[in-house]
Structure 1
């Protein structure tokens, strides 16, 4: 029972960190990430097909993505699906290649992005602390119902606090890395 509680706490806190990392990586900093197109799918060959199955997506430089569509007849459909994303970029077509050219990020925009990222990090830290609080309440309930003694409860709570500190530090590391990449673009 206690072991399951610890495993659940770690799993939930780890999910928060992974989710934060995924969302934060979608915020443009140094280089355009081809993963911004991961949700694009095209109706072709009788079904919805992910873009990465019908094309090769690569980053040409810090501002340009190149999408080489394997079947030329799909290029206009792919372009339409990319337009639906409302990306802040220019789109160029040539034969079976679509190029997305993104503008440079201004200093003001970078500062705003840093503020956004910091707010996201704080929200995730609060979520981790909520998990700690809920777990502490569960431990108190177990102590009151005499399923565990107070000393054991204190030890378990200290372990949960260690998990909390560890996962908050992970969020801080991810945040600092993103801030650095935004500032040194």
Structure 2
């Protein structure tokens, strides 16, 4: 039973770190990447869909994202979706495609992005702490109901804390790297 609790806890904490890294990928450092538009939702065909479902997203150069809708009739919807995503990007219609120039980051914008990265990291740390809390709660239940010996409980408790510390350190390391990336001109 305790082994399954630890396995589940590790999976949850790993998901928290992966989610935080995915969130970090949405913060751009002035270099265009298709991942910058991952969160864009488009109202097309009577429903809300992701941008990837209606268009190909490429980066022909470091300063431009090119969006080519599969169906030309949704071009205006895609443009509106990008504008409404509040990414600070302004798409330009060029024939049947959208060109999205990525502006140079100002010092103030870099600070805002670093602050956003910090709050994303804190969300990740909260999820890791929640994984620790859930695992400890399940271990206490196992100790009380299933007769888990006190020595084993203490050993598992230390394992849970070590895993928590390792995952928190990993998030902090990624945050420091992302902040350095964002502040580098």
TMscore range, shorter length = 0.7 to 0.9
Per-residue deviation at 1:122? 2.8
Aligned-partner Cα distance in 2 for 1:80–1:123: 29
Per-residue deviation at 1:47? 7.4
Residue 61 of structure 1 is matched in structure 2 by 61
Task: Select between 54-63 and 175-184 the one with higher mean Cα deviation.
Answer: 54-63
Per-residue deviation at 1:6? 0.9
Residue 162 of structure 1 is matched in structure 2 by 162
Q: Verify the 8 A CA contact 1:71 1:96 in the aligned structure 2.
A: no
Gap runs ≥5 in structure 1 = none
Following TM superposition, the consecutive aligned residue runs of length 4 or more in structure 1 with deviations greater than 4 angstroms are: 46-50
Aligned-partner Cα distance in 2 for 1:116–1:81: 22
Per-residue deviation at 1:97? 1.8
Per-residue deviation at 1:148? 0.9
Per-residue deviation at 1:100? 1.0
What's the CA shift string for 1:54-110, capped at 9, x where partnerless?
A: 432112333321112344444333323333324322322221121111322111221
CA RMSD, Structure 1 to Structure 2 (Å): 2.5
Gap runs ≥5 in structure 2 = none
Q: Verify the 8 A CA contact 1:26 1:33 in the aligned structure 2.
A: no
Give the TM-score taking structure 1 as reference length. Answer: 0.82
